[in-house]
Amino acid sequence: MFSKILLAIDGSEHANRASKSTLELVIQLGNVSITILHVSTSAPSRRELLQTNFDVHSLLENQAHRIVRETEDAFKSVGILYTFQVALGDPATEIIDRAKEGEYDLIIMGKRGLDPLRQVLLGSVSQKVLQHAPCPVMIVK
């Protein structure tokens, strides 16, 4: 039923829990393709651009790899292959667009993220993805 999964990671404890659940699900399901996606919300600074010779993609990718390292390490440690993607912009919009373009059949994410102070059940990214996603969404508590 689920053969192409998109896992959205912002580096939060909630997202790390979502990656643990994803790992368990992937082990149970077997033949699944999994993509780890991080959306960067701030464009590189002028100094960073100059330092990297305006290679924006590598810059974003390196920053994102640092943020999703825990998830990548967990997948590697059990030998699960994955694809890594980085995007720049509004996280919910990017997650929804990628899910549509890539024809994913499941999105997995945390219920809250890096700003869990407000007393609401779901973060704004989870809420928007849940509302507009083209496929089922698994929100990990």
Chain positions contacting ligand ATP, by CB under 6 A: 8-10, 12, 14-15, 18, 37-39, 41, 91, 109-110, 112-116, 123-126
Burial (CB count <10 Å: 0-12, 13-18, 19+), residue 17: middle
CA–CA distance, 116 with 63 (Å, rounded to integer): 22
Choice between 41 and 51, CB closer to Mg ion: 41
48, HSE (Cβ side, Cα atoms, 13 Å): 12
110 sits near Mg ion (criterion: CB under 5 A): no
Q: Are 101 and 134 in contact (CB under 8 A)?
A: no
Choice between 116 and 134, CB closer to ligand ATP: 116
Choice between 50 and 131, CB closer to ligand ATP: 131
Residues 6+ apart with CB under 8 A from 20: 74
- Choose from Mg ion, ligand ATP, none: what does 126 bind? Cβ within 5-8 Å by kind: ligand ATP
CA–CA distance, 13 with 30 (Å, rounded to integer): 26
> Min. distance of Cβ 55 from Mg ion in angstroms?
27
- Choose from Mg ion, ligand ATP, none: what does 12 bind? Cβ within 5-8 Å by kind: ligand ATP
- Choose from Mg ion, ligand ATP, none: what does 23 bind? Cβ within 5-8 Å by kind: none
Using CB under 5 A, count the residues that bind Mg ion: 3
The residue whose two tokens read 């999703």 is 68
113 sits near Mg ion (criterion: CB under 5 A): yes
CA–CA distance, 92 with 94 (Å, rounded to integer): 5
Choice between 26 and 60, CB closer to Mg ion: 60
- Which parts of this chain interact with Mg ion (CB under 5 A)? 113-115
